[in-house]
Structure 1
């Protein structure tokens, strides 16, 4: 059974794009009959899983949104982009070219492009947050925040498997250390023989 259909409602600026409509309840917020964002073909949004394109978001060309991924607001996935697993792309964020987003949160006017890869670290379950006007061309996973006008160049791989957060902001890199509670001290024990 299909989870959505493509309606006759065309995008106001691009008649190749059409709104989707949910055919079943998908989540607490997405019910049968709800209108979603725009796709070019049924290949842009998987009919399985809970993935959704909402509001005025667009998935077009050979882009694929699947898994539990969400594309919302005015976000765009185009080219051969892949947005999957539990990724959220919102605001005016763009995933394009051959970029892969398999976790994390993209927002603002950020752009993940080229052969970029954004993913959740499978050990720590931390996922990157990309915000502002950042441009990501490299690979990022784990507890990383990119904001402002940060740029991650092609060939750069940033894999943070720690609880500390790596922050790339504009042309600065910093670390926000995780609060750590020291283990309780055990009272000294003495064995006294009598």
Structure 2
């Protein structure tokens, strides 16, 4: 099985084990269901009906995946065992059709640019393009719930396609803007926020009511009502109602709430609540609460 075929298997696995029918294009669900039903014949997966229209899903067959308990998500386990049943898929006509469908579907741009519009950002006027969904595609809500962006849906504002990846599930709502050289990619969702400067938002980052500036890098993190400026690096953390300024690094499931963190501060696996910290501090495995 080549790399693109494996990529398509991973899409099938996400659709079957995490999404529901209404959160993906109809044709994508049609092939997902057919291929997974084929695998039920070999006791690789089980079909379950949740009793709600559009919410049918699949589960791994525990016996087939025995030995992988506690080793990851359904999707990760499915991919680990793929070498044992990949030939079944390669010989399946629906899987062959799904590959062709995906090749065509992925060549269609996710969004197109509408005419320019003058938008006020931080007190300054800027001419930006509004994005419009160019096809139905699976995405996420700010709450990390599977959803479908329908073709024709209006999104937020960008200076060019260099601001928002055409691949992945990333999306910005129509109250958000990405400007300058900022870039949003992978599965990140931007809600009522501005991303600017040379900022990079990647992974499954969920940003709401926030302002991300300068050279900030945000990876797999959740922000709400937060301002980030000047060379921040934040990964796998949650930050709410806070201000992060000047060479701050935050790692590993850290939690920041209603705090101000300023200047060369390094935070690892810690919680900072109702606090103000300044300058040249390393914090690891701690709770700081005012």
**Which band: TM-score by shorter chain?**
0.7 to 0.9
The corresponding residue for 2:194 is: 76
- Within-5 A mapping of 1:19-168: 19-27=130-138, 28-73=147-192, 75-91=193-209, 93-108=210-225, 110-120=226-236, 128-137=237-246, 138-148=248-258, 150-160=259-269, 166-168=271-273
Q: How many angstroms does 1:175 deviate by?
A: 6.2
- Equivalent pair of 2:261/2:276 in contact (CA under 8 Å): no
Q: CA deviation at 1:61?
A: 0.4
Contact persistence 1:8–1:18 (CA under 8 A): yes
Q: CA deviation at 1:171?
A: 3.1
- Structure 1 position 167, deviation (Å): 2.8
Give CA deviations for 1:117-160 in whole Å, capped at 9, x if unaligned: 1112xxxxxxx111114224301112222122x22233221121
* Structure with greater proportional helix content: 2
Contact 2:275 2:288 in 1 (8 A): no
Structure 1 gap segments, 5+ residues each? 121-127, 177-194
Q: Which has the higher contact order (CA 8 A, sep 6+)?
A: 1
Question: How far off is 1:9 after superposition?
Answer: 5.2
Any idea what the Cα deviations from partners look like across 1:85-142, whole Å, max 9, x if unmatched?
Answer: 1111111x1111000001111111x11111101112xxxxxxx111114224301112
The answer (yes or no) to whether the contact 1:63–1:78 under 8 Å persists in 2 is yes
CA RMSD in angstroms comes to 2.0
Q: TM-score, normalised by structure 1?
A: 0.75
Segments of structure 2 that go 5 or more residues without pairing to the other structure are 1-107, 139-146, 278-285
